[in-house]
Amino acid sequence: MEVPDLGHGITGPLSPREGMVKNVSLESLQLCERDGKAEDSGVVGMELPVPVNIRISHITCDSFKICWDMDPRTKDKITHYFIDLNKKETKSSNKFKHKDVPTKLVAKAVPLPMTVRGHWFLSPRTEYTVAVQTASKQSDGDYAISEWSDIVEFCTADYSSVHLNQLLQKAEVIAGRMLPFTVFYRNQNQEYFEHCRYGTGGGRMLPSVKDNSGSHGSPLSGKLEGIFFSCNTEFNTGQPAQDSPYGRYRFQIPAEALFDADTRLYFGDFYCMYTAYHYVILVLAPRGSAGDLYCSERLPELDAASNRFLTRTVGEDGRVEFRHAQDLILELIYTEPVDISRGTVGQISGHQLMSLSTVNAKKDPSCKICNISVGR
């Protein structure tokens, strides 16, 4: 049974240690000091069991199950549970930023384990603390309550395939028509390519762990290793743009070299950065590679010949054609090392537009185009 069906998420500036919490269906809830005895709610001699051995399980990006042990002799007195849920503060937290408002949940006493679900107070890949009280509603509307349980910690999960498919469907709506292209390209500074040639790369560009750009719940960030490429072209020239936020030097490689008949294509993310531009992350993974195995368990696979973002088709004459979506900026992650000798490196004539960089870029949580009804 889920908490939102039983009570309501209650948010306010005070923690359970500091005072009163209100619920739209209840006149008032008196919450006790977590390190002291339950406050007097007009009920004398009422002792309620303190939840112990709290266990969190079945964690998703916006839900979890919670259960605990308590003295069975007083279970019949309990009518409600009070749950105090807070984002865990870390050493890197911004001390000058307003603290996240804690969430107080009120649920009728139901058989455990109980499901807590709600995208308005749970975000993906986020550490939380939780504590529980038991309560007994009295005839005058007040509550007798137990002491707070010990605090336990847990971390919510990444987006599931259900959530990623929701993002996929939203991205398809604005993808636009398909334009032809012939090369994948990667911009960096000159030192990067020199290091790939003569340094530890041994003449190859090596995969690195994806940064934290995009949706907060993406299963790619901080986990998948790969090399970023682009393929977008300018409408009027059919060629890659001469400007780039990542460097004045560009590696170009024929599209067929990275996207052949044995390459699997996955949808990874859809996001924007407080601008009109929208980005889609796609993964190109050679069949059977480590990247392919990782993505096959977590990401929606796309039909390489028929999707709204990036296609590879073979004509009747045997000629292979590649196309990309016009109205999206595609960020392509290739999961294997790439030998520099398979392509060319040259200097672009445009500018290095740093403002367009997506390195560790945070997704705009207010955008109605690319957000779904789950933590951002």
Percentage of the chain exceeding pLDDT 90: 55
pLDDT at 179 over 90: yes
**pLDDT attached to residue 351:** 59
Q: Could you identify the residue written with the tokens 């948010």?
A: 11
The tens digit of pLDDT for each residue in 273-287 reads: 888 889 999 999 999
**pLDDT band per the 50, 70, 90 thresholds, residue 220:** very high
CA distances from 293 to 158, 222, 229, 266 (A): 17, 17, 20, 11
Q: 373 pLDDT exceeds 90?
A: no
Q: Which residues face 278 on adjacent strands?
A: 272
* pLDDT at 93 (0 to 100): 47
Assess whether pLDDT exceeds 60 at residue 40.
Answer: no
Domain with CATH 2.60.40.10 in the chain: 3-155
Residue 95 has pLDDT above 50, yes or no: no
pLDDT higher than threshold 70 for residue 24: no
Per-residue pLDDT tens for 324-359? 999 999 999 999 999 999 999 999 886 555 555 666
Q: Among 40-54, 61-75, 195-209, 322-336, where is mean pLDDT lowest?
A: 40-54
Distance CA 223, CA 333 (A): 12
* DSSP structure class, residue 190: H
Amino acid at 43: V
Question: What pLDDT does residue 326 have?
Answer: 94
| Range among 12-16, 92-96, 148-152 with highest mean pLDDT value | 148-152
Specify whether the CB–CB gap between 55 and 67 falls below 8 A.
yes
Determine the pLDDT at residue 358: 65
Task: Read off the pLDDT of each residue in 105-132 and give the average, rounded to a whole number.
Answer: 87
Q: What integer pLDDT is reported at residue 120 of this predicted model?
A: 66
pLDDT at res. 102: 53
* pLDDT tens per residue, range 129-173: 999 999 998 888 888 889 999 999 999 999 999 999 999 999 999
Residue 9 has pLDDT above 80, yes or no: no
Cα distance between residue 300 and residue 281, in whole Å: 12
CB atoms within 10 A of CB 31: 24
For residue 121, the surrounding DSSP H or E stretch is none
Give me the chain's average pLDDT, please: 82
Choice among 41-50, 122-131, 321-330 with the minimum mean pLDDT: 41-50
Q: pLDDT value at position 243?
A: 76
* Mean pLDDT, rounded, for 173-179: 95
What average pLDDT does this structure show over 239-267? Answer: 91
- Over residues 52-56, mean pLDDT: 95
Q: Is residue 341 within a helix (H) or strand (E), and if so which, with residue range?
A: none
CATH architecture of the domain with residue range 3-155: Sandwich (2.60)
- What is the rounded average pLDDT of the residues 177-182? 95
Peptide bond into 113 cis (omega under 30): yes
Residue 200 pLDDT class (50, 70, 90 cuts): confident
The whole-number pLDDT of residue 10 equals 33
Are residues 127 and 75 in contact, defined by beta-carbon separation less than 8 angstroms? Answer: no
Length, in residues, of the chain:
376
Q: How confident is the model at residue 362 (pLDDT cuts 50, 70, 90)?
A: confident
Burial 155-177 (b: 16+ CB within 10 A, else e): ebbbbbeebbebbbebbbeebee
The one-letter code for the residue type at 333 is I
Distance CA 78, CA 146 (A): 10
